A and B are shown apart, each in its own frame.
Chain A
């Protein structure tokens, strides 16, 4: 441990930036056209949460995490980075945790008692992950092929999940721990690689923490 301080962030990244971006391109090609299905399903999850329902969002988010964990981390990323296999299994654990959202919920909270700030900011983070994240190649030097889409790439999946968790008060922290951990790991990777748009995810994580810690409105 005494030697940890002698490492730079980049020393933990075993690939060149070009290879990391091409990883997304190769993955996009291998799972095409699941991206076309994933985004509408993400929108559906947000719509159900807006209605106060958690069962279908829990299933949809869970499926997206296991899909990313297996097809991205375990099948492709792990050949470049030995740590990715652990990330893959952590994504599978998050899938199992998210399925608990699908368990029978307590009666819906009355609309007047709902926390509208969390609801709207959560939906905003979700829409950011679903609609803006895939557009990031437009503002960078990346190819469209290297885009990151919810349900197939880890960062937008984590961002949408955090947004969805803000929209519900069920199991917030246990379910948010792994997405927040991914915010830290992925943010560090993007800093080391020098791709600043990647910091959108950790920024979303900070917003999530701020709002999740904010005292909830009391029932009248």
Chain B
């Protein structure tokens, strides 16, 4: 038997501590603890309800230590059963950092790549997609979305052609911060979309009245962005929200971020939420929200009341 030196012991303890932390945060997917998945209405393909955003969080440029740190965040995401990763040409170096991290992780098959087209020039859809794919170091995206409805008519036409020819699997449009909802509604009514991305969280709930019911009616998958309002919602809850209600554990929530995420993804129209983070422990927390049953309408109302009262 090999002699155990001090370094091996430290590694052993560190691994044990990491495993214990992962379990405590509820972020690890194991055969008996699989994350909740919801079907994409247009195909019935199942998608884990917690995805990952990359705005700000993955924009670290050529800073090697920070790139490696983001790789660990992505590793924790996949370890928790995560699938959908969302980025955009607008996010600085995020696509490139993501590609680097995916390379290091061997491009896991479970990755559902979601990117965007972000240019006023309606003739640049394919050209920009090729640049984005090169940065992700992938051949094909699973989902391409028109970023913030920018020149959406021309881009959607090309994206539909690309989908028909198998260059992309799903197409959609995005908005955020509650902007241009009227126009988004028109697009959802008039275009054949697989996905729509919008802002939805316990504070920003305007989409509940028209857009989310319309998504269900039209069979469009919904990606909820800004679930933590850029972090400010979680900061507020953790600073002044006090202890988590005792009943939260019954719905598998061990902290405020999980309560918020589980509330979002338990809306019948929402397919997944895409929180962004730079920290492995926060990623494990986020992925913990995908474990366990989703609450029903009655329990959702209770969760919302608790969040609003905090």
Contacts and interface: CB of A to CB of B under 8 A. Distances in A.
Interface of A: 3, 6-8, 10-11, 13-16, 18-19, 22-23, 26, 76, 79-82
A82 B61 contact: no
Among A13, A22, A79, chain B packs the most CB atoms within 10 A around the CB of: A79
Contacts of A7: 177
B66 A19 contact: yes
Contacts of B91: 14
A148 to B, nearest CB: 18
Contacts of B92: 14-15, 79-82
B102 interface: no
B63 interface: yes
B21 interface: no
B175 to A, nearest CB: 9
A26 B57 CA distance: 18
B59 A80 contact: yes
B61 A23 contact: yes
Interface in B19-62: 55-57, 59-62
B230 interface: yes
Nearest to A81: B92
Among A13, A14, A19, chain B packs the most CB atoms within 10 A around the CB of: A19
B178 interface: yes
B205 interface: no
A10 B230 contact: yes
A37 to B, nearest CB: 25
Contacts of B278: 16, 18
Contacts of B230: 8, 10-11
Contact of B63 (A3, A13, A22, A82): A22
A14 B180 contact: no
Given A8-B230, A23-B61, A80-B92, 15 more contacts: A3-B177, A3-B179, A6-B178, A11-B230, A14-B59, A14-B90, A14-B92, A15-B56, A19-B59, A19-B63, A19-B66, A26-B63, A80-B60, A80-B61, A80-B93
A19 B180 contact: no
Among A10, A16, A76, chain B packs the most CB atoms within 10 A around the CB of: A16
A3 to B, nearest CB: 5
Contacts of A8: 230
20 contacts: A6-B178, A11-B177, A14-B55, A14-B59, A14-B92, A15-B92, A16-B57, A16-B59, A16-B278, A18-B66, A19-B59, A22-B66, A23-B61, A26-B63, A79-B61, A79-B62, A79-B93, A80-B59, A80-B60, A82-B90
Contacts of B59: 14-16, 19, 80
Nearest to A13: B56
Contacts of A79: 61-62, 92-93
Listed from nearest, the 8 A-B pairs whose CB atoms lie closest are: A79-B61, A3-B179, A80-B92, A14-B92, A80-B61, A79-B93, A6-B177, A15-B59
Nearest to A14: B92
Contacts of A76: 61
A14 B91 CA distance: 6
Interface string B50-91: 000001110111110010000000000000000000000011
Nearest to A84: B92
A58 B93 CA distance: 36
Nearest to B57: A16
A26 B64 CA distance: 11
A23 B61 CA distance: 9
A80 B94 CA distance: 8
Nearest to B60: A19
Interface in B253-286: 278
Contacts of B180: 3
A16 B56 CA distance: 6
Contacts of B179: 3, 6
B132 to A, nearest CB: 14
